[in-house]
Amino acid sequence: MTCNVMEMEKELRSFTALVETTLLQDLHIRSEKPHDPIRVKKVPKEWECIGTGNYAAVFMHQQHKEWVVKVYARDVEGLEKEAAVYEKLGVHPSYSSLLHKETYYLILQRLKGMTLYDAFHKGVRIPESVIEDINEALDYARKRGLNPYDVHGKNVMMEDGKGYVVDVSDFYKKGEDSKWRDLVRAYYKIYLPFFYKYPIPVPYLLLDMVRHSYRFYKKLRKLFQKDA
C-alpha cells in the first residue's frame, strides 16, 4: 500500500468518527411524504445540508469540503443497492465515487457546482456540453451493465460547462425510465430556443408545479396505455 492510500484511509477513518460523534448525534431529519424531499429540521454546528432527495439528505463539513455524507431517512435497504451501483460503475469523470458505507449513511466524493434544477431556478445558463457529458456518462453506465433510472434535474449537476450525474441510487432498477429523455427533449425544444437566450429566474413554486403535473401526466399516460 502506498503512503498516499494509507494517508487517505487514515483521514477517512477520522472523518467517519467525526460523522458519528458530531453529525449523527444531533441531526433531525424526517421523511414526511414519499414524493417530497426529506425535511431537515436541525443540522449540527460546522455541518451544512447541501441537498435533499426523497430518500436522503446530504451534508458537508466545513473542514472537509471534498467529501459529503448521504444520510438515508427512509428505505435504508436502498443504501446497499446504491453502494453496489458505485462498485459496478468504477471510475468515471462524470460520477462521484463511494468512499465508505455504514448502515444509515454513505461517504461520497463531493461534486461541485449546482444541479440543473437549481440552475434553471436561478436563471444560470445550461450549456449544451453539459447535456452531452451526461448523455455520455449514461452510455458509459449502460456499458457497465447498469440501467440509468430516475435521472432528473435534481440528480444531475454542472460546473464550468461540464455535466455530472450526482445520484445513481436507482441504476440497478429494471425497466425504462423516460425522465432524462423527456428532459433532453424539453432542453432542445423549449430551453435552448427560449430560456438559454433569455435566462430568467423561475420560482421553485412554479418548478414544483411542473414536477407534480409531470408525475400526474405520466400516471395518466400509463393508465391510457394499459387500457389501449
CB of 198 to ligand ATP, least distance (A): 26
Site for Mg ion in 32-91 (CB under 5 A): 53
By CB under 5 A, residue 170 contacts Mg ion = no
74, 31 contact by CB (below 8 A): yes
Shortest distance in whole angstroms from residue 53 CB to Mg ion: 3
Count Cβ atoms within 10 A of the Cβ of residue 108 and give its class: 0-12 exposed, 13-18 middle, 19 or more buried. buried
Q: Which is nearer to ligand ATP, 97 or 188 (CB)?
A: 97
Q: Is 68 in the site for ligand ATP (CB under 6 A)?
A: yes
Q: Is 71 a binder of ligand ATP (CB under 6 A)?
A: no
CA dist., res. 57 & res. 23, Å (int): 12
* Helix-strand-coil split of the chain, %, nearest 5: 45, 20, 35
Give residues 151-210 in contact with ligand ATP (rule: CB under 6 A).
Answer: 154-155, 166-167, 169
**Residues whose CB falls within 8 Å of the CB of residue 58, separated by 6 or more in sequence, listed in order:** 49, 50, 51, 52, 68, 69, 70, 71
Q: Is 86 in the site for ligand ATP (CB under 6 A)?
A: no
Rule CB under 5 A: is residue 167 a binding residue for Mg ion?
yes
Contacting residues toward Mg ion, per CB under 5 A: 53, 155, 167
